[in-house]
Chains A and B, each alone.
Chain A
Amino acid sequence: MALGALALGAAVLGGCGRPDDASGAAPDGTAPAPGSTPSAVTPSPGAPAAASDGAASDAAASDDPVLADFSGVVLPDGAAAAGLDYVNLSGRATKPTILEANGAGVALIDLENDGDLDLVFSQGCADLDTLITGPGADLEIFANDGSGNFTRRPGPGLRGWWTGLCAGDVDGDGDMDLVVGGFGQAAVLLQDGSGALVPVDEPGLLPPGDRRLVPGEPRTAGLPPTWITSVALFDADRDGHLDVYLGQYLDLDPVDPPLGELGEGVLALPCSWKGLEVYCGPRGMTAQPDRLLLGRGDGTFVDASERLGDVEPGFTLGVVPFDADGDGDTDLYVAADSVPNLLFVNDGTGTFAEVGTGAGVAVSTEGMAEAGMGVATGDLDRDGRMDLAVTNFSDEATQLFLGAPVGFRAATYRTGLQRETRRLLSWGVHLVDLDADGRLELFTANGHVYPQADSPNTGTSYAQPDTLWRFGRGLRAEAIPPGGDTSILALARGTRGSAVGDLDGDGAPEIVVVTIDGPAAIGRNTHGRTAHRLELRLEGAGARTGGGQTGGEGADGAASAGAPRSPRDGRGARVVVVPKLPENEAFAVLCEVQTTSGYQSSSSPYLAIGLGAATSYTSIEVRWPSGRIERIEAGDGGRRLFLREGAGVVKSEELER
């Protein structure tokens, strides 16, 4: 097919970018990113601008044969069998306040550096009163034995109502640490070498003053705490130290929360939805501004929120760092509840400009600010540009924005996602290739915020099954049926945070979902057994420490002080893999090392690549955050490759099948 040939040409000529777009250089003068197509995020004079549902390029790879393999039970829940007994607690079942409806998240993190992914869950309390009186909740940790079986481990001893988590090598010592946010609390936990997570004293995540809530300490009314939702570790200023973006929600007074109505007297606004009395917010309540903090590389951070510019506070729920414009630095997309979403574009130094409206990703195609619950990135249409999937409220669609030469194009309606998603209220979201066919599927974790959704004529329900779509010909969304009662897609419940990553060592990513007020689930990935996969684990050179480096070199091979550096955990690296296929079937896979995705959760930092019908790959190209570009020569699939910046493949092992 002609469109398939276009994708092939792009792959051969430099990853998955199209030949006519393969121009432009990184701001620091390094070569253009391999395999990724440079794009501008806002229109400039003389340039075509973002449009809605484009007709041409986003179908580029969509006429290829569909190889999807979702036979049998899809993503069967293996949590109980694996010993995972986490049960979420998020306040009262009636959900009288908004905090109690938002649920928790999960982080996939390698504790003990044993190569497998362990699980850390955030946790809430029985209600606001018990949060205030204490003792509050701790994080809950489950250690993986390497084959996907889990054993509960003691928590780090935190006390609070915990929400979003993000795993990353905060101190650059080669193991993964954790940053966790909460309602009036935030913590940085560093691994101590034995796999224990040890809280950092005064990491600088919370502003000074009364915004902190310490369970057990007396509290008076009128002091709403800092409420952190999603947490994103990324390297904003390219110094090799991880920085953090804290998404924040709204002012909720835990001592005297609004109940039934906002305001007073005849101008009070009833807190209602479809005529039913529900908890109050976010509309009518005060949004908290998000914050950006720069990491010092020792587990402490300094507030640099002024670098975000003068942005009106929203009600942030989801955050995802990614290179939106393909220029080599990391930008941020922020899904905000009931107000326009934000796209922060990095100037390469960690100073941002908000361009969501101009880029076409702030509101729906028709100008409506939607609920903005979670967000995922991935190259869904395989055109060499990152796309965005944003989950929303019921009666709103999960929006799909495809990366375009300038900005993004909404593809929600043409792909049929409105029809598929309008009854759902979705939170966690992932664009992930579960069956290794080289195409991304869309997963959403679903569940309504209001128990009242079970009333007649709401058009939705409180408990909802999670959903998975593949994108067939014409990029049309096709719901994948659960295939059996044990599928995580079969059981109606309310899920919130979710994370993807290979838990059992076979290279196939599982999905972990956090059920509000219920047990967590693990959707075991049993799909694509015949397909070949690659797993890539990247290690960056890290920040410069003292008089030397922690390893590797800068972009130009010299140790110049001002040159960009790559974080030790490889975060921000962009990778293009070209499977070895006949010319008429060729495609390239673009992905990026990031862990924050979906809602309040942290996925695997390892890249899971599906090779489709190929058994091997032609090339792997890595663009490190430092600007260095490395090309890995052809090799076989079914491998786990360890790539170190400047050293190429330093270890290769076979994936268990």
Chain B
Amino acid sequence: MRTHATHRTILARTATRVALVAALAGPLTAEAVTAAAGPAQEPAPEDAPTTEESTDDSVAGAAANAALELQMERATRLAELASLLDLGLVSDALELGLPLVAAGPPPGPLVDDGRAIALVARALDDAGRGDEARDLLIAANVIPATGPWIELEWARLDLVQDELDSALRRLVREDGTLRLPDFPQAWMLTGRALARRGSLGAAARYLNGYLERAPYAPDTVSALHILHLEALQRRDAEAATALLAESERRRRAFELIRARSLQVRANPKDALPRYGLGLAYLELGDTRAATAALEELVELQPDFARAYFQLGEARRLSGDREGAVLAFGEGLARDPDDHKCRLNRGLVLGQLARYDEALTDLEFLLRSDVAGTAEYAGIYLGLARVYDRTERPEAADQAYAKYRELGGDQPR
């Protein structure tokens, strides 16, 4: 029997997966995830008794489990649907999605979910079945929290039909404010419509808003490119060049992510494509997605030692220092000579004020053959910082001097 803690982990992972898919297929706020997946469940405290231990609550526990299972099932299907669509697998998306949103009887499990209906409508339109897409949207009767997805899909269809004014009427009030400002895609669609109409300056405001709200979504490629055009129009060549370069960088990253995703689908049990997918997300800068991909990898193949360093990095860059330490530790457990894992664990331990443990790692490296190399200059920076905080100023000075000598330029 699964414990609440396990459920919490699965839910967290599912939420991550959904968010990842959202990044691929469109916007998804936490609020929308909750709405799409069903009523929110208050997670149990960390130290809450497991269902095995709390037999008195077995009935309530079972009900909670069932609700969680249902919630997880909805989220998983939604994520899979979005993923299929993003990979261009329209037939597969329809095969999965149409039963989910079928009016019935019996009704599909996501018939009241605006997000699912919007995705299926998009798939229908991509499949050349635009009339069915519209019929589906017209007939949709969804829970209010997911209603905005329907409206956004209408706006997207307007854009596809070059009905720019109609799209803008759906998206923007007369005073220029967005009707659905909590939805990143509303910002993107508005920016896109304005740009297509030739109003680059007005588009820029919305596109910047989109970048703030969905910094790693595939549409950021387009947002950045349009902003590049707008910068050109403003005669800001420097900004235009930078925006274009970033757009191009992301385009390449998303191409890689798509290729790796297809490889993962083709070889779901092989570690290498999944590892490549994690690296591609890291390259993009989407550390949350990278973490999810690499966690799936190490769950699938726990002995894939190289993955732990990247997982540690993904977690560290996501701000999950404790998780990073654990990942680096797993890597070292499998390969004690993985100096990169040890260095980064030492640095993160120092940031966590676990100075003794940090020193153990960093001083270990001082005795290794990587000591004194520019590639591992970070050893000395880490030592300097730990020595500073443990009131060993002379040792800190020496370590920092060595760090600078090796070419390091970060502040102490």
* A→B interface (CB under 8 Å): 43, 45-55, 265-270, 272-275, 357-358, 360, 363, 365-369, 395, 409, 413-419, 422-423, 455-460
Nearest Cβ distance between residue B165 and chain A, in whole angstroms? 11
Decide: A419 and B162 in contact? CB cutoff 8 A.
Answer: yes
Complex formed: what's the CA distance from A631 to B257 in Å?
Answer: 59
> Nearest residue in B to A363 (C-beta to C-beta)?
B225
The listed residue with most B CB atoms (<10 A of its CB), out of A365, A456, A460, is: A365
Decide: A51 and B276 in contact? CB cutoff 8 A.
Answer: no
Decide: B229 and A413 in contact? CB cutoff 8 A.
Answer: no
> Given A47-B235, A52-B196, 5 other A-B contacts at CB below 8 A?
A43-B237, A49-B229, A54-B198, A267-B276, A367-B251
B191-224 to A contact mask, C-beta < 8 Å, 1/0: 0100111101000000000000000000001101
Decide: B226 and A366 in contact? CB cutoff 8 A.
Answer: yes
Decide: B200 and A266 in contact? CB cutoff 8 A.
Answer: no
Complex formed: what's the CA distance from A468 to B222 in Å?
Answer: 30
* B177 contacts the other chain (CB 8 A): no
**Chain B residues with CB below 8 A from A415, complex form:** 162
**Chain A residues with CB below 8 A from B222, complex form:** 366-368
* B128 contacts the other chain (CB 8 A): yes
Q: List 21 A-B contacts (CB under 8 A).
A: A43-B232, A46-B235, A50-B229, A51-B229, A53-B198, A266-B263, A266-B272, A269-B259, A274-B88, A275-B88, A365-B225, A365-B229, A367-B225, A413-B196, A414-B198, A419-B160, A419-B161, A457-B90, A457-B94, A457-B127, A458-B128
* B89 contacts the other chain (CB 8 A): yes
**Chain A residues with CB below 8 A from B262, complex form:** 269-270, 272
Complex formed: what's the CA distance from A265 to B270 in Å?
Answer: 10
Decide: B89 and A274 in contact? CB cutoff 8 A.
Answer: yes
* B→A interface (CB under 8 Å): 88-92, 94, 123, 125-129, 159-162, 164, 192, 195-198, 200, 221-222, 224-226, 228-229, 232-233, 235, 237, 244, 247, 251, 259, 262-263, 266-267, 270, 272-273, 276
For the complex, would chain A's binding face be called helix, strand, loop or mixed by DSSP majority? loop
Complex formed: what's the CA distance from A71 to B228 in Å?
Answer: 45
Nearest Cβ distance between residue A399 and chain B, in whole angstroms? 12
Known: A49-B235, A267-B272, A419-B160. A459 touches B197 (CB 8 A): no
> Nearest residue in A to B266 (C-beta to C-beta)?
A270
Nearest Cβ distance between residue B245 and chain A, in whole angstroms? 11
Decide: A267 and B229 in contact? CB cutoff 8 A.
Answer: no
**Chain B residues with CB below 8 A from A268, complex form:** 263, 266
**Chain A residues with CB below 8 A from B228, complex form:** 367
Tell which of B91, B196, B235 touches A456, judged by Cβ atoms closer than 8 Å. Answer: B91
Complex formed: what's the CA distance from A512 to B88 in Å?
Answer: 35
Complex formed: what's the CA distance from A269 to B256 in Å?
Answer: 11
Decide: B126 and A45 in contact? CB cutoff 8 A.
Answer: no
Decide: B89 and A52 in contact? CB cutoff 8 A.
Answer: no
Decide: A266 and B233 in contact? CB cutoff 8 A.
Answer: no
Tell which of A54, A357, A413, A457 touches B128, judged by Cβ atoms closer than 8 Å. Answer: A457
Complex formed: what's the CA distance from A314 to B232 in Å?
Answer: 25
Decide: A274 and B162 in contact? CB cutoff 8 A.
Answer: no
Decide: A357 and B198 in contact? CB cutoff 8 A.
Answer: no
Decide: B127 and A53 in contact? CB cutoff 8 A.
Answer: no
> Nearest residue in A to B130 (C-beta to C-beta)?
A459
For the complex, would chain B's binding face be called helix, strand, loop or mixed by DSSP majority? helix
Decide: B263 and A267 in contact? CB cutoff 8 A.
Answer: yes
Decide: B126 and A366 in contact? CB cutoff 8 A.
Answer: no
**Chain A residues with CB below 8 A from B90, complex form:** 274-275, 457-459
Complex formed: what's the CA distance from A573 to B320 in Å?
Answer: 67
The listed residue with most B CB atoms (<10 A of its CB), out of A53, A367, A369, is: A367
Decide: A55 and B128 in contact? CB cutoff 8 A.
Answer: no
Complex formed: what's the CA distance from A418 to B193 in Å?
Answer: 13
Decide: A414 and B197 in contact? CB cutoff 8 A.
Answer: yes
Nearest Cβ distance between residue A207 and chain B, in whole angstroms? 30
Complex formed: what's the CA distance from A58 to B227 in Å?
Answer: 22
Complex formed: what's the CA distance from A47 to B233 in Å?
Answer: 9
Tell which of B88, B92, B196, B273 touches A266, judged by Cβ atoms closer than 8 Å. Answer: B273
Known: A266-B273, A367-B222, A459-B128. A51 touches B200 (CB 8 A): yes
Decide: B162 and A416 in contact? CB cutoff 8 A.
Answer: yes
Decide: B233 and A49 in contact? CB cutoff 8 A.
Answer: yes
**Chain A residues with CB below 8 A from B161, complex form:** 418-419
Tell which of A266, A422, A423 touches B267, judged by Cβ atoms closer than 8 Å. Answer: A266
Known: A269-B263, A273-B88. A395 touches B196 (CB 8 A): no
Nearest Cβ distance between residue B146 and chain A, in whole angstroms? 25
Complex formed: what's the CA distance from A194 to B91 in Å?
Answer: 58
Decide: A409 and B198 in contact? CB cutoff 8 A.
Answer: yes
**Chain B residues with CB below 8 A from A457, complex form:** 90-91, 94, 123, 126-129
Complex formed: what's the CA distance from A408 to B161 in Å?
Answer: 23
Nearest Cβ distance between residue A55 and chain B, in whole angstroms? 5
Tell which of B126, B232, B244 touches A49, judged by Cβ atoms closer than 8 Å. Answer: B232
The list of the 3 closest CB pairs from A to B, nearest first, reads A367-B225, A366-B222, A459-B128
Complex formed: what's the CA distance from A460 to B198 in Å?
Answer: 29
Decide: B229 and A360 in contact? CB cutoff 8 A.
Answer: yes
Decide: A414 and B164 in contact? CB cutoff 8 A.
Answer: yes
**Chain A residues with CB below 8 A from B94, complex form:** 457
Complex formed: what's the CA distance from A274 to B86 in Å?
Answer: 10
**Chain B residues with CB below 8 A from A413, complex form:** 159, 162, 164, 196-197
Complex formed: what's the CA distance from A100 to B267 in Å?
Answer: 29
Tell which of A55, A275, A365, A418 touches B162, judged by Cβ atoms closer than 8 Å. Answer: A418
Decide: B126 and A55 in contact? CB cutoff 8 A.
Answer: no
Decide: A395 and B221 in contact? CB cutoff 8 A.
Answer: no
Complex formed: what's the CA distance from A422 to B130 in Å?
Answer: 12
Nearest Cβ distance between residue B125 and chain A, in whole angstroms? 8
Nearest Cβ distance between residue B280 and chain A, in whole angstroms? 12
Known: A270-B266, A275-B89, A419-B162. A53 touches B229 (CB 8 A): no
Decide: B128 and A414 in contact? CB cutoff 8 A.
Answer: no
**Chain B residues with CB below 8 A from A55, complex form:** 197-198
Complex formed: what's the CA distance from A192 to B202 in Å?
Answer: 62
Nearest Cβ distance between residue B275 and chain A, in whole angstroms? 10
> Nearest residue in B to A50 (C-beta to C-beta)?
B232
> Nearest residue in A to B250 (C-beta to C-beta)?
A367
Tell which of B123, B196, B247 touches A414, judged by Cβ atoms closer than 8 Å. Answer: B196
> Nearest residue in A to B191 (C-beta to C-beta)?
A366
**Chain B residues with CB below 8 A from A47, complex form:** 235
Complex formed: what's the CA distance from A48 to B222 in Å?
Answer: 22
Complex formed: what's the CA distance from A272 to B89 in Å?
Answer: 10
Decide: B229 and A52 in contact? CB cutoff 8 A.
Answer: yes
Complex formed: what's the CA distance from A72 to B233 in Å?
Answer: 46
Decide: A367 and B162 in contact? CB cutoff 8 A.
Answer: no
Complex formed: what's the CA distance from A419 to B164 in Å?
Answer: 11
Decide: B197 and A53 in contact? CB cutoff 8 A.
Answer: yes
Complex formed: what's the CA distance from A459 to B160 in Å?
Answer: 14
**Chain A residues with CB below 8 A from B244, complex form:** 357
Tell which of A360, A367, A422 touches B221, judged by Cβ atoms closer than 8 Å. Answer: A367
Complex formed: what's the CA distance from A275 to B263 in Å?
Answer: 12
Decide: A52 and B200 in contact? CB cutoff 8 A.
Answer: yes
**Chain A residues with CB below 8 A from B164, complex form:** 413-414
**Chain A residues with CB below 8 A from B235, complex form:** 43, 45-49
Decide: B247 and A367 in contact? CB cutoff 8 A.
Answer: yes
Decide: A414 and B266 in contact? CB cutoff 8 A.
Answer: no
Complex formed: what's the CA distance from A358 to B275 in Å?
Answer: 37
Complex formed: what's the CA distance from A417 to B270 in Å?
Answer: 43
Complex formed: what's the CA distance from A457 to B92 in Å?
Answer: 9
Nearest Cβ distance between residue B246 and chain A, in whole angstroms? 10
Complex formed: what's the CA distance from A53 to B128 in Å?
Answer: 26
> Nearest residue in B to A459 (C-beta to C-beta)?
B128
Nearest Cβ distance between residue B305 and chain A, in whole angstroms? 18
**Chain B residues with CB below 8 A from A358, complex form:** 232
Complex formed: what's the CA distance from A304 to B385 in Å?
Answer: 59
Nearest Cβ distance between residue B155 and chain A, in whole angstroms? 14
Nearest Cβ distance between residue A543 and chain B, in whole angstroms? 40
**Chain B residues with CB below 8 A from A368, complex form:** 221-222, 251
Complex formed: what's the CA distance from A615 to B160 in Å?
Answer: 42
Complex formed: what's the CA distance from A292 to B247 in Å?
Answer: 31
Complex formed: what's the CA distance from A419 to B221 in Å?
Answer: 22
Nearest Cβ distance between residue B396 and chain A, in whole angstroms? 46
